[in-house]
Amino acid sequence: MPHSNPPLTAQSTLLRGPESFIRGLLEEAGIAVNGHQPWDIQVHNPDFYARVLRHGSLGLGESYMDGWWDCERLDELFYRVLRHGLDRKTLRLGHYLGSLLASVLFNLQSKRRAYIVGERHYDLGNDLFQAMLDPTMSYSCGYWKAARDLVEAQRHKLALICAKLCLQPGQRLLDIGCGWGGLAEYAARHHGVEVVGITISREQQALARERCAGLPVQIRLQDYRELDERFDRIVSVGMFEHVGYKNYRTYMKVVRRCLKDDGLMLLHTIGSNESQRSVDPWIGKYIFPNGMLPSIAQLGRAWEELLVMEDWHNFGADYDKTLMAWYTNFCAAWPNLRARYDERFFRMFRYYLLSCAGAFRARNIQLWQIVLSPRGVSGGYQAPR
């Protein structure tokens, strides 16, 4: 789950010296160095300050992975950092421009590069994700409106999606980015639809085929740009974050090409409060290579003249609860996982889950479910909640 990229600020603020500057920034958010609050940071290596100023978010994340600093409640630390806009004051110009230049000059999410994130993240190991996620293996935000725990939140999310799509027996559903097949299995089992799910992860494909055995579900290892067949309904959950701004329009053209004239499409995606063209460097290097969060403006331009927006539902605050539940499961499973994953991996994954939880808690990033139709639903669309 990538963070939004902040704009640059004047570099003159760095003249105070790395340690003094960082300490001063943290104090603005009520965070102390070597303090006693759970969100305070404990610095073990004095080179930490210069590394953060030199490499920005990449330096912050890598120095944590290297054990240069610790924090009892990383989620609360990042909530305070982002809520007070401190991330905007530490971004290094050269590092930001390098990331931005690469995304502008190259299509980092091209068809040739589409399988990179599958190989480097989703193929980490099904044992890891089975231990961390709920039984449906939903690696996306749960719906906590009436849920008491993660299991209920994810089941309620699947039920909500199917209700918004108005699924009927015999319909044909396309699941773009089907993950481990949780939604495909649920829709086929509970709504009697035929499902085609596509993924760019071999590990996901294998497990999805296993869990959907005996159901009218086909799981393919396929890039969305290869699709050219018709469906009554299309859904995409937690996949659009890998599409990239250069491909948003292409993606929507594929949706329109594959969606019947009386069909519906539901897009479930993390969203950015502002338009961006590059990814957070640490998230891009260690978690989601070439990931990118869309903005409202970018999405609107992508489907303009192709699709009609029927409903836009934001429940981004629910992702905070989802991530914290995943973190609890991850920590509980770690004694059994550590034989395959080292301590640096543990620190990396802890940093990933808790920093993202803090970002959603700060409302720095959002979670949107958007319902689209080709021509507008006759008489209007009634959105369930």
**Residues 172 and 196: beta-carbon distance below 8 Å:** yes
Q: Would residue 356 show up in a list of annotated catalytic residues for this protein?
A: yes
Please tell me which residue in 71, 162, 258, 356 is annotated as part of the active site: 356
Q: Starting at the edge strand that comes first in sequence, how are the strands of the sheet with 308-314 ordered?
A: 217-221, 194-199, 172-176, 231-237, 259-272, 365-373, 308-314
**CA 337/CA 26 separation, integer angstroms:** 34
The token pair at 40 is 């305070």
What distance in Å separates the CA atoms of residue 340 and residue 323, rounded to the nearest whole number?
A: 22
* Residue carrying the six token digits 């609890």: 328
Phi-psi region of 244 (alpha: psi -120 to 50; beta: other; left: phi over 0): left
Query: Annotated catalytic sites, by residue?
Result: 356
